Structure 1
């Protein structure tokens, strides 16, 4: 009897310990991860560019998206500011921060798997409102409106419906209307009164999309679909009315390439046999990195380059010249400082651990680097 009672007590104790452990874990999970700060640069109180936000995508299905901020006026890099400022939001910023943008006094963060656009006060990072949009992807702005691409369908659904662009009023923060485009739309850009959307069809590899949809902003209707190539992704505009759009190919026998569209005619005008994975355009220069699978080693190899968009030629000049590129495991996000023209590029490493942000001067030499959140990806600059 005593032996049975002893066993019962031990079992009961084990259950209590297990429950306590679960409760402790839950409490720990609910507790916001504290902000971290480090002095990175000499302070510049008169900086024209006050700083920039960097959204870290985080690991899918782990609610690890996060927001960092570099304050040029104080020289301080701040990690994970969202959770610190918004402790009442239980799951933090959410699952996969896919894009970020500033319009007026508000900061917009597109959180893909969490199906929302977070609207924050640009000065503090405090949440103003959450706008729910299923499987949202990228955002841009014009004339008091925000435009957001969205897949609508769930990940991996080959029968997913066509995607949409949602129009959001930036004062009321309410969705006003939406227009249907191709399946799984990605980046979007506005030139004049036309909005262009790169369609991927990525959920159905046997039937990729291959068009850029053209939306007239006045009527908010699709007026044309431009045939380009399969599985489109990046879409950037230069100052001459041209668009640079990338195709990811089919990852097998159809290679990734980059194409140029003339928005005056909405026709293709040039093809670059480059596997461009990400790019940004500043003035006459496009900065890009490209990845290609080496069949011999079965590993991806990365290259970094520049393109003159005025004459549409690849330059011999590189934006990394000091050998630091050999230390970058997985290049990911890229941006150009609007004033200094420094190149900012992120390293996502293994996609599971904190990444690194690098800054290079105009001669391609590393100026500084800093640890970020997981999968650092998208930038938004803040002006005084």
Structure 2
């Protein structure tokens, strides 16, 4: 009887130890994900405003949905300093948003500002400058706790989102020359897709390619020919990518919306517009895609790649489409209106084709980030 109880105790202890070790191993291997809070609503909307060139007046405007009040320069109010010159991208990842400040050619004004979403407090500013010039970072994308930043000097910088430090850089190449003029980024299928724009300062760039980078090895695998001057790119949940190409002054090509299959990395569709028409912005989230064409915003059928109905059905007009952002919580769409590229802009929020509200921003509003409430 004593021996039975002894072996029962040993067996129970052994079983508990195995369960404990198994639990620890799962956590160590990353098999147990931390619980993500459930969103209950949208408290406010941040809108990145590029500002007028050379005036150091970029800003982050904030609209409080509950109070119906706007803080046109929330970043400056909270941080007691200007955001910078030519802010170009703002995206959320976890509890932080990442603001890409391009700066201007010939001056050391290039940064990535990492900001707490709840408070708009700057947590860290990472410089992307030489002694006398900026590397002109352009866009940011995310994959497995890493942020990836494209730069006009042809480098992709990788930032650890926990330590907020740069932990890797990849110089893209055009044959034996450095690639330059990197623009929009998108991540899908374990790969980073980077657009190589045409830029007058950098005549030797890839110009008509989307570069593919394997994110597990952080190495370039190939270039995809998409057409002259690709600038924007977005990924759908089914793995397809949609890249926007622009025309180049003095060259003949039609702007286009190019669909890429991320399994084969092949172009499978192209929707061209007339030579002097204009694809202005693109947003995709939760199987919903929209693209700006001249003064209209068209739905993208993410199954067929074809363009469909207009976003706006209530007669509202947008002067200058400068940014589009889908709110994945409620499928509303924020349309940023540059209003003729002046010092004041406006953001419109549409639900089911109808304007829900709008608010003033600083000049040249672009991308939006949402401040959520949680259950």
TM (normalized to structure 2)? 0.79
Residue 165 of structure 2 corresponds to which residue in structure 1? 174
Aligned pair count?
312
* Paired residue secondary structure (2:199): coil
Residue 55 of structure 2 corresponds to which residue in structure 1? 62
Contact 2:336 2:367 in 1 (8 A): no
The 3 A distance-change label for structure 1 pair 225 and 151 is same
Residue 262 of structure 1 corresponds to which residue in structure 2? 261
Contact 2:102 2:111 in 1 (8 A): yes
Residue 290 of structure 2 corresponds to which residue in structure 1? 287
Residue 116 of structure 2 corresponds to which residue in structure 1? 121
Q: Matches of 1:354 and 1:140 in 2, distance apart?
A: 28
Q: Matches of 1:165 and 1:205 in 2, distance apart?
A: 16
Deviates more, 1:265-274 or 1:121-130: 121-130
Q: How far is the alpha carbon of 1:312 from its aligned partner?
A: 2.0
* Paired residue secondary structure (2:310): coil
The 3 A distance-change label for structure 1 pair 63 and 206 is closer
Contact 1:194 1:216 in 2 (8 A): yes
* Paired residue secondary structure (2:158): strand
Matched, 1:148 2:138: no
Matched, 1:200 2:197: yes
Q: How far is the alpha carbon of 1:138 from its aligned partner?
A: 0.3
Q: How far is the alpha carbon of 1:52 from its aligned partner?
A: 2.6
Residue 51 of structure 1 corresponds to which residue in structure 2? 44
Contact 2:63 2:359 in 1 (8 A): no
The 3 A distance-change label for structure 1 pair 93 and 204 is closer
Q: Matches of 1:322 and 1:48 in 2, distance apart?
A: 25
Q: Matches of 1:95 and 1:206 in 2, distance apart?
A: 24
Q: Matches of 2:186 and 2:110 in 1, distance apart?
A: 21
Q: How far is the alpha carbon of 1:127 from its aligned partner?
A: 1.8
Contact 1:186 1:197 in 2 (8 A): yes
Residue 334 of structure 1 corresponds to which residue in structure 2? 324
Counterpart among 206, 221, 224 of residue 223 in structure 1: 221
The Cα offsets for residues 227-248 of structure 1, whole Å up to 9 and x where unpaired, read as 1111111100111111000110
The Cα offsets for residues 148-188 of structure 1, whole Å up to 9 and x where unpaired, read as 00113xxxxxxxxxx11100111221111111223211111
Q: Unaligned regions of 5+ residues in structure 1, if any?
A: 1-45, 153-162, 292-301
* Paired residue secondary structure (1:368): strand
Q: Matches of 1:324 and 1:205 in 2, distance apart?
A: 40
Residue 160 of structure 1 corresponds to which residue in structure 2? none
Q: How far is the alpha carbon of 1:217 from its aligned partner?
A: 0.9
The 3 A distance-change label for structure 1 pair 60 and 120 is same
Q: How far is the alpha carbon of 1:191 from its aligned partner?
A: 0.8
Residue 3 of structure 2 corresponds to which residue in structure 1? none
Q: Matches of 2:367 and 2:215 in 1, distance apart?
A: 26
